[in-house]
Structure 1
């Protein structure tokens, strides 16, 4: 298996596959980073290559400034992706990453529409009552513990706790002034994914993302909680692969 590689400062490819037919750009949840998609990159079939987006302000890009809002982040990512979307590509976003992926897909559609878009674990914006996610430090800590049991040990370390809370707050603040517009919609197929135990959104609510596209929309509820991309494991990889293969074949 080939070693992971960086492509510019923006993308981490956990399993390089130069002969892959589809590039799958993956956008992490609030506070998340590109390695969250390492297992998915290994589990997908050889014709799909994961390009995980390295968000600024964390990991190897710790010194990079955070975006001021969703629009600025979408502009940055879209500009970084443009040289790499001349062929077939798709986008997958989880939680906050779903909002960014959706808007990046719209931004790039005039250049080369994506083959498909996968949106996971985010309440559709028309159902928001204010920006999504917790606000105060204790709310954030409680939320993080509710969606990821492994974070409790990390939060016990004061320095790591401060770093994590800083990144999560910066990500959640992106949505403070976000004004959603459904127009123009995507034209590609969209798959909505949600964990059966997600405390933030359920399957019925996720179907609201059908408004995001004039193309076909489908929904899957998988085992797991909010971080369904990691929790559902092999089933998630198979679901995404089947969706992309069906839509790529149709295209």
Structure 2
């Protein structure tokens, strides 16, 4: 099973944008992006194992291993400049993917990180060890999951294992300072996101000597859904591409 979902292939696109979803998320989180993003950008949404059409594939419990798998799968698609966008858990994995690609001689054009603290400024909140009801409450508080769906026992049985896996992956992640990232970085957060504030998000700028930008948009942890147009505008700006 392939790692990427590209609903609108663009053979003449100037840049490929690889999008990594949040904990418990899937490639469907970015399904509407190709309709609004510049024709110069070809969107590839990462489909993590163990969910959606990869439900039978084994879960990956380690951020470093997940990054290596994603970076390896990207290799045939690096015949043109590539950029990474990661939201929440996806931002941490995207950061590690960017460092791997840099080491392999194919640095990304830009790293966009959304809705999370930088890797060297993590919090101690533990969600993965909660019981099922506690996990659902935590997910609902973040604002990205329809709690009504998870009241169905069959849906719980399908969804909660990969959600728990993803939260554990984030909680067990340990930052290593080397290799230093060299790519430009844009951090984007929602102004009402209780998991990351402007001060913490600004520390992403400490991780690269390249240009850094911080954007704060209205909304909670999943601000990027109602603020899709503004997020895509930041991507266009970071990539120096006209809409």
Same fold (TM over 0.5): yes
Q: Secondary structure at the match of 2:22?
A: coil
Give 1:145 shift. Answer: 1.1
Aligned partners of 2:181, 2:119: CA distance in 1, in Å?
Answer: 15
Aligned partner of 1:78 among 71, 80, 84: 71
Aligned partners of 1:112, 1:179: CA distance in 2, in Å?
Answer: 24
Aligned partner of 2:239 among 223, 240, 244: 244
Matched, 1:11 2:4: yes
Give 1:51 shift. Answer: 0.4
Give 1:132 shift. Answer: 6.1
**After alignment, is 203-212 or 49-58 more displaced?**
203-212
Residue equivalent to 1:215: 210
Q: Secondary structure at the match of 2:18?
A: strand
Residue equivalent to 2:32: 39
Aligned length: 240
Aligned partner of 2:173 among 159, 174, 178: 178
Give 1:175 shift. Answer: 3.2
Aligned partners of 1:138, 1:208: CA distance in 2, in Å?
Answer: 34
Aligned partner of 1:118 among 112, 116, 129: 112
Give 1:204 shift. Answer: 1.5
Give 1:140 shift. Answer: 2.0
Residue equivalent to 1:138: 133
Structure-2-length-normalised TM-score = 0.92
Over 3 Å counting, the alpha-carbon distance change for 1:150 and 1:68 in structure 2 is: closer
Give 1:44 shift. Answer: 0.5
Residue equivalent to 2:95: 102
Residue equivalent to 1:63: 56
Give 1:131 shift. Answer: 6.4
Give 1:117 shift. Answer: 0.4
Aligned partner of 1:52 among 16, 25, 45: 45
User: Conserved in 2, the CA contact under 8 Å of 1:187 and 1:214?
Assistant: yes
Give 1:176 shift. Answer: 4.3
**After alignment, is 98-107 or 166-175 more displaced?**
166-175
Name structure 1 gaps, 5 residues minimum: 1-7
Aligned partner of 1:228 among 223, 231, 234: 223
Aligned partners of 2:31, 2:49: CA distance in 1, in Å?
Answer: 18
Structure-1-length-normalised TM-score = 0.89
Name structure 2 gaps, 5 residues minimum: none
Q: Please, what is the CA RMSD of the aligned residues?
A: 1.9
User: Conserved in 1, the CA contact under 8 Å of 2:109 and 2:183?
Assistant: yes
Over 3 Å counting, the alpha-carbon distance change for 1:135 and 1:41 in structure 2 is: farther
